[in-house]
C-alpha cells in the first residue's frame, strides 16, 4: 500500500501511531505493526500482519514522502506567507472559483473564509486594544499621536498572537494550504517541486507493479488523503503513462481517496487544474482500475460526496469510476496525542484513518489489512444517495 499524506510536515511515526491505536481498539486479533523503516528512496513505512481465521494477510504500508516540500512552504517568512496567501485567496474569489465551490458544497465554501476571518479578528482586537491604550495615554498627557501608534502596535501584537495560538486555530496553516492548492492549479512555485516528486512516486508505483508477481503481491493500493488525494491521482496517472498496461495481470491495482481537497484545484481552474483533469479522466476511464472516493459532508476540508468528475471541464464519456461513498462519521473525539485534532474541523479530517465509532462507518485499517481487495470489498456498494454525481 502506497499512502500519500496531506498538507502535513509530520513524520511517518505519527501515522503509524494512528493506525496502531485503531488496531488496539479491535475486539479480537488486532493486527501487528512493525517499526518504521526506510522502504525506498521516496518512501518509508512498516509491515502490518493480520490473522483472519483461515489465513494471514501481510501488508507493506509505504508513506510517499513529500513532507519536506510542505515544511518549506509553511516555513516561509510570515509577511511573505500572508501576502502570497491573501493574494491567492482573493484571486480565488474573483476568478469564480468560490462560486463554483458553493454550487456543489456549502460547507467547504464557508470554511474558505475561516482563516481570513480569524486573522482579521486577532488583528482587529489588537487594534482596538492598542487604540484604547493610546487614547488613555493621551488623556494622561501623552502626545496626540499616541492612539495612532497604539493602533499600529496593537495590529502587530494581534498578528503575533495569531501565530502564538496557531495550534488552537490553524488560521495560518489553512491559508497556506489554499495558497499551495491555487499555486498548483496555476502551475506556479512550488508546483514544479511537487511535480518532480510525483514523477518519483510514479516510478515507485511502476516498481511495485513490476515486482508484484515475484513477491506474490495480490493488490497494490494507492491511497491519497487530503492533499494526498491530488498527489495520488497524479502519481498513478504518470505511472500509467510510463506503462500503458499498468497491471498486465501482475497484480490488482486500486486507488482510494479520502477527504481529498483536489476539488479546490478543479474549481480554481488553470493550466495545472486542466492537467489534473486529464489525470482524473484517464484513471476514471480505465477498465482495469478500481477507484473509491470516500468523504463526508461534515468534513469541510473536502468537497464531501461530490463526484470528482462533476468538477471537470471535459469529463470522460465512458467513465467507470470513482465509486463515491460516505465515511459515515460518528462523534468527533480529539486524539489525545495530537493537539491538532482538538480543532474540530481538523479532528474530523483525520478521522478517515481512525477506527469507526458508528456501525457501517468507513474502516481504514480493515481496508488496509483485510483479506478482500478494494474492488471486492466495495463491489456491491452503490454511490451514496447523498452524493452529487456527474451521471445519476
Give the three cell numbers for residue 332. Answer: 468527533
Residue whose C-alpha cell is 492598542:
130
What is the percent of the chain with per-residue pLDDT over 90, rounded to a whole number?
64
Cα distance between residue 288 and residue 277, in whole Å: 19
Q: Looking at residue 199, what is its pLDDT?
A: 96
Q: How confident is the model at residue 163 (pLDDT cuts 50, 70, 90)?
A: very high
Ramachandran angles phi, psi of 105, nearest 5°: -155, 120
Give the three cell numbers for residue 133. Answer: 491604550
Give the three cell numbers for residue 353. Answer: 484513518
Mean pLDDT rounded to a whole number for the chain? 90
- Tell which residue, 256, 203, 263, 244, has the closest CA to residue 368: 256
DSSP assignment string, 127-154? HHHHHHHHHHHHHTT--TTHHHHHHHHH
Beta-carbon neighbour count of residue 309 at 10 Å?
A: 22
Cα distance between residue 362 and residue 370, in whole Å: 13
- pLDDT score of 314 more than 90: no
- pLDDT of 186-229, one tens digit each? 999 999 999 999 999 999 999 999 888 888 899 999 999 999 99
Residue whose C-alpha cell is 499621536:
145
Domain assignments of the chain as residue spans, ordered by start: 2-70+178-377
Burial of 63 (0-12, 13-18, 19+ CB in 10 A): buried
- pLDDT of 1-56, one tens digit each? 999 999 988 889 989 988 888 888 765 778 899 999 999 999 999 999 988 877 88
The residues near 202 (Cβ < 8 Å, ≥ 6 apart) are: 235, 236, 238, 239, 241, 242
Q: Which residue did the predictor score with more confidence, 279 or 213?
A: 279
Ramachandran angles phi, psi of 42, nearest 5°: -120, 10
- Tell which residue, 382, 57, 389, 354, has the closest CA to residue 221: 57
Cα distance between residue 104 and residue 164, in whole Å: 35
Give the three cell numbers for residue 349. Answer: 479530517
Q: Which residue did the predictor score with more confidence, 290 or 359?
A: 290
Q: By three-state DSSP, how is residue 336 classified?
A: coil
Q: Looking at residue 27, what is its pLDDT?
A: 58
- pLDDT of 128-144, one tens digit each? 999 999 888 888 878 88
- pLDDT score of 334 more than 70: no
Average pLDDT of the residues in 282-291: 91
- pLDDT of 335-379, one tens digit each? 666 666 666 778 788 889 988 877 778 999 999 988 899 999 998
Q: Looking at residue 335, what is its pLDDT?
A: 67
Q: Are 187 and 271 in contact (CB under 8 A)?
A: yes
Average pLDDT of the residues in 168-183: 94
Average pLDDT of the residues in 65-70: 95
Amino acid at each position: 500500500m502506497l499512502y500519500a499524506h496531506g498538507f502535513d510536515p509530520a513524520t511517518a511515526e505519527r501515522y503509524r501511531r494512528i493506525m496502531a491505536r485503531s488496531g488496539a481498539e479491535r475486539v479480537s486479533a488486532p493486527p501487528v505493526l512493525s517499526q518504521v523503516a526506510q522502504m525506498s528512496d521516496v518512501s518509508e513505512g512498516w509491515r502490518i500482519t493480520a490473522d483472519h481465521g483461515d489465513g494471514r494477510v501481510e501488508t507493506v504500508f509505504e508513506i510517499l514522502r513529500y513532507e519536506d516540500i510542505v515544511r518549506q512552504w509553511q516555513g516561509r517568512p510570515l509577511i511573505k506567507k500572508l501576502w502570497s496567501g491573501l493574494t491567492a485567496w482573493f484571486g480565488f474569489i474573483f476568478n469564480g472559483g468560490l462560486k463554483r465551490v458553493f454550487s456543489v458544497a456549502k460547507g467547504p465554501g464557508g470554511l474558505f473564509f475561516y482563516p481570513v476571518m480569524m486573522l482579521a479578528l486577532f488583528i482587529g482586537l489588537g487594534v482596538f486594544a492598542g487604540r484604547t491604550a493610546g487614547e488613555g495615554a493621551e488623556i494622561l498627557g501623552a502626545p496626540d499621536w499616541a492612539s495612532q501608534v497604539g493602533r499600529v502596535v496593537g495590529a502587530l501584537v494581534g498578528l503575533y498572537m495569531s501565530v502564538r495560538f496557531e495550534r488552537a486555530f490553524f488560521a495560518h496553516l489553512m491559508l497556506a494550504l489554499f495558497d499551495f492548492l491555487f499555486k498548483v492549479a496555476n502551475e506556479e512555485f512550488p508546483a514544479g517541486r511537487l511535480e518532480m516528486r510525483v514523477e518519483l512516486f510514479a516510478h515507485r508505483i511502476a516498481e511495485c507493479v513490476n515486482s508484484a508477481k515475484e513477491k506474490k503481491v495480490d493488490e497494490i493500493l494507492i491511497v491519497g488523503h487530503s492533499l494526498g488525494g491530488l498527489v495520488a491521482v497524479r502519481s498513478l496517472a504518470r505511472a500509467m503513462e510510463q506503462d500503458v498496461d499498468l497491471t498486465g495481470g501482475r497484480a490488482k491495482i486500486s486507488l482510494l481517496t479520502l477527504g481529498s481537497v483536489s476539488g479546490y484545484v478543479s474549481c480554481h481552474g488553470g493550466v495545472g487544474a486542466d492537467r489534473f483533469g486529464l489525470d482524473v479522466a484517464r484513471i476514471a476511464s480505465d477498465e482495469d482500475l478500481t477507484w473509491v472516493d470516500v468523504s463526508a459532508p461534515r468534513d469541510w476540508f473536502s468537497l464531501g460526496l461530490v463526484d470528482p468528475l462533476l468538477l471537470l471541464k471535459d469529463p470522460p464519456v465512458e467513465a467507470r469510476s470513482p465509486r463515491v461513498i460516505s465515511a459515515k462519521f460518528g462523534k468527533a473525539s480529539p486524539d489525545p496525542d495530537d493537539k491538532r485534532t482538538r480543532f474540530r474541523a481538523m479532528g474530523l479530517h483525520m478521522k478517515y484513518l481512525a477506527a469507526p465509532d458508528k456501525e457501517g462507518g468507513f474502516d481504514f485499517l480493515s481496508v488496509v489489512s483485510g483479506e478482500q481487495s478494494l474492488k471486492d470489498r466495495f463491489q456491491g456498494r452503490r454511490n451514496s444517495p447523498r452524493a452529487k454525481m456527474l451521471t445519476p
